[in-house]
Structure 1
């Protein structure tokens, strides 16, 4: 394995990076937010080899400033950071552009930038803990720059993005910052912030006539549904495509905490195929199937059939039938029959992660259930941490902090925040057709995506997910798509791809290649460039 100095030298050789514009990060001492009120940028150049094909590009790391709507339209509210890559010599009117973001909510976009589609990729171990620094940063053979220009966006308050308070009085400043947080830290405020950023970006870089795509991961898929509807129906921006990775549109399908929402049994049924895939991977099944995917088709059929029916019976389910279902679940998950009976056939994500490998005092990963780690408390009911997150986060953080300063020439003297400082996220959502009222219920943005598809019937949607994702199980995403309130004729606009990986599909290199090839093909087929 190469050490970091060699990787850094290789970076300079492959990217040929030179600073064109100086970074303007310095903050005046008397007003810490003053520098945030003006857009800043640093331009560099480089090249990347994508599956053997060299692509020269211009990189811009910078910020755009969002402003208040209405009477305070001139008041700056958020400085949003982005890293954009433009292919050199391409016609902007024919060159696709893809806006990319992670989820959280309130996450920086370091993961998709350094793990999936940026020109440089950090190397992490496939299904176990990545050793500590130095980390390897390599040419990304699967950067999406061969198919599209790329704009990686940090959510308000995350990464180098900052909320802006221009009051100098301490008390007034605190109140203003609270108002800023309330305005953007929520489903609708976040969606409008990203919409304002994207329309500003299109104007600043002359990309209004480019084919346009959204790419969101995890909560970023929730955002994409809201954002697609805002762009389409508020800003008259027709999108060519929406690409969803590790989707969650209806939070009533989540396997995280369904016990707090009794009477809604859907999450247990929709998570069962991922439980089965995980047990298959760790060889915990009573009888190991010959292949994963045929096995999953069998589990999916049972999940929506006999298992869902049994759950719907509630207390009406007799003991003999409950035992029979538990024995079937044992065949699919490897969990003990008595445990399943005691759990009333309802196993949450945290329970499964703790129990599957309890015989070895191991906790199974949530974001990627191929990972395992020592259980913090072998006697607890639920998992208490995520081994996959612990295994790779340090590599991403270190690699990006070094890369953005050394290669993109941005961020000296600034802290890169993985997550925004969110006290409260407002999940109330004004769904299309809700007559202006924010619905006080579990978030469900399926109507937003459906409205965007109906008002732009040429809009194509591409859903991607990993079989080993316990954060947003793939079958729950599949279920959501087949229950969108759209005409049957629009279902043909949705395509699907599943991978033998977890929530961060790209953390598995073979899946990253497949993801790249699939997304590049999707863009090529939908960009309307003749």
Structure 2
């Protein structure tokens, strides 16, 4: 999904080659064991004092002939003592595609987390940054394994492996599924409750991985999946011209953001105003989108008035836009008179622009560049000091250039397929029908302008999802809702309660 590639790959400041595959690595890996860096730690999580090991290690991935083709790196936090065979484990990854797990690692789930401005008003500036113990980490409930897909972090292709073997919807999911089964086997966790947590494209991946885990001759069922800022069906999260679905799914997020900035819904609560926007979207607006030019001018005017009411934009501008407001234009237009553009990952963020006449942000996503330096600095320092990692190459927060090489086809090479919006929603639905104990929690940010909360509702209302096993949660922040302290607390509480119900 091009709009996710444009903004979720916000860590492209590391503009290094896509995947390192130097001759030295190709010659030396066959004669050594996988690298591993282990350190011991303790902390109080969920009110319990926990001693744990942190293990940063590589796992060799193999092809059907048993030959090594890649090294996938992960960071595992494993509680010491007790019956490890029944100890729950959660596998965690971010999205992109082409993003390492750094964001969920030091942003939310890890034993130490970075803190940026909770209200999104202050840039992270230069070092030093705030990095604190995370007393709300889930380590008292489950071990945590942060996964860096091939091309990110230290993960790379090796030997006869090629980029095309891993850079794709199916290829990537296959590698993660292989890693998970290898890790579970190595650590004796087949009888332990198993969970996945993914963010953004990581949710696209999670659905496909859940499907693939059922195959391979040794099926592995999951107990629960946490989807943070879900992107299962891209029709509802691709704000492109002529994509009528996106105008429908994005409207409530535009209304919420306009409300936040005081441009719409004055005197009403966020919940009341977004409900009103949902009702309008499902009713008059949906009908108008599909009628198109068959509407009279009076009908178009009436819809424009309503859209102005919900979005805070000028009616004349809305009419010039054919009553269809692309998200890129909305971000620029909402506060144009103030010379400011709002963020994509989080519409609460805003920044003064250098080009006041442009249709889209010139400087990039404010909610990205106002936080990314803090994440990068604290993670690198943590990796090489606390976790005792010694490597002679950089940790890639993102794989620069992945988007142009990614194979989005959901079918095997050679199989017929016509281009369409990417979707793994049906995959997850079918997994849930085969595994009737599997439950899913979906975390949505009201001000997420890349994977809108209304799209979550639209997605899970279809595809035959078992409604009684889908849990929807909402937060007053954006794509990375945990950047806001109140939502960090709420999300921690919600995930903890979700897991506790599934861990017997």
The 5 Å alignment of 1:363-378 reads 363-378=341-356
| TM-superposed deviation, 1:493 | 0.9
**1:47 — aligned with what?**
42
| TM-superposed deviation, 1:33 | 3.2
Provide the rounded CA distance (Å) in 1 between the counterparts of 2:419 and 2:53. 45
Aligned with residue 300 of structure 1, among 278, 303, 326: 278
**2:331 — aligned with what?**
353
Deviations 1:205-252 (A, max 9, x none): 111111000100000000011000111244410100111000011111
Cα distance change of structure 1 residues 414 and 435 upon mapping to structure 2, 3 Å threshold = closer
Provide the rounded CA distance (Å) in 2 between the counterparts of 1:369 and 1:238. 37
> Quick check: 1:255–1:271 contact (8 Å CA) kept in 2?
no
Cα distance change of structure 1 residues 66 and 514 upon mapping to structure 2, 3 Å threshold = same
Provide the rounded CA distance (Å) in 2 between the counterparts of 1:190 and 1:121. 27
**1:138 — aligned with what?**
132
Is 1:213 aligned to 2:189, yes or no?
Answer: no
Is 1:182 aligned to 2:175, yes or no?
Answer: no
Provide the rounded CA distance (Å) in 1 between the counterparts of 2:297 and 2:22. 71
What SS does the aligned partner of 1:43 have?
strand
> Quick check: 1:98–1:212 contact (8 Å CA) kept in 2?
yes
Is 1:157 aligned to 2:151, yes or no?
Answer: yes
**1:473 — aligned with what?**
452
Cα distance change of structure 1 residues 509 and 276 upon mapping to structure 2, 3 Å threshold = same
Provide the rounded CA distance (Å) in 2 between the counterparts of 1:109 and 1:54. 25
> Quick check: 2:203–2:228 contact (8 Å CA) kept in 1?
yes
| TM-superposed deviation, 1:85 | 0.5
Cα distance change of structure 1 residues 295 and 28 upon mapping to structure 2, 3 Å threshold = closer
| TM-superposed deviation, 1:75 | 2.0
Aligned with residue 56 of structure 2, among 61, 73, 92: 61
The 5 Å alignment of 1:78-117 reads 78-117=70-109
The 5 Å alignment of 1:434-449 reads 437-438=416-417, 440-449=419-428
| TM-superposed deviation, 1:269 | 1.1
**2:294 — aligned with what?**
316
> Quick check: 2:198–2:227 contact (8 Å CA) kept in 1?
yes
What SS does the aligned partner of 2:145 have?
strand
Provide the rounded CA distance (Å) in 2 between the counterparts of 1:109 and 1:438. 31
What SS does the aligned partner of 2:61 have?
strand
Where structure 1 has 5 or more consecutive residues not aligned to the other structure, the ranges are 1-26, 167-175
**TM-score where L is the length of structure 1:** 0.87
Is 1:418 aligned to 2:397, yes or no?
Answer: yes
> Quick check: 2:196–2:224 contact (8 Å CA) kept in 1?
yes
Is 1:240 aligned to 2:223, yes or no?
Answer: yes
Cα distance change of structure 1 residues 438 and 98 upon mapping to structure 2, 3 Å threshold = farther
For structure 1, which segment, 292-301 or 50-59, has the greater mean C-alpha deviation from structure 2 after superposition? Answer: 50-59
| TM-superposed deviation, 1:92 | 2.2
**1:510 — aligned with what?**
486
| TM-superposed deviation, 1:333 | 1.0
Aligned with residue 474 of structure 2, among 498, 507, 526: 498
For structure 1, which segment, 126-135 or 89-98, has the greater mean C-alpha deviation from structure 2 after superposition? Answer: 89-98
| TM-superposed deviation, 1:55 | 2.1
Cα distance change of structure 1 residues 325 and 56 upon mapping to structure 2, 3 Å threshold = same
Count of residues in Structure 1 that have an aligned counterpart in Structure 2: 477
Cα distance change of structure 1 residues 229 and 54 upon mapping to structure 2, 3 Å threshold = same
How large is the Cα RMSD of the aligned pairs? Answer: 2.0
| TM-superposed deviation, 1:53 | 3.3
> Quick check: 2:482–2:491 contact (8 Å CA) kept in 1?
yes
What SS does the aligned partner of 1:299 have?
helix
| TM-superposed deviation, 1:36 | 4.6
What SS does the aligned partner of 2:371 have?
helix
For structure 1, which segment, 125-134 or 268-277, has the greater mean C-alpha deviation from structure 2 after superposition? Answer: 125-134
Aligned with residue 461 of structure 2, among 442, 465, 482: 482
Aligned with residue 378 of structure 2, among 392, 399, 420: 399
**TM-score where L is the length of structure 2:** 0.91
> Quick check: 2:21–2:156 contact (8 Å CA) kept in 1?
no
Provide the rounded CA distance (Å) in 1 between the counterparts of 2:436 and 2:339. 51
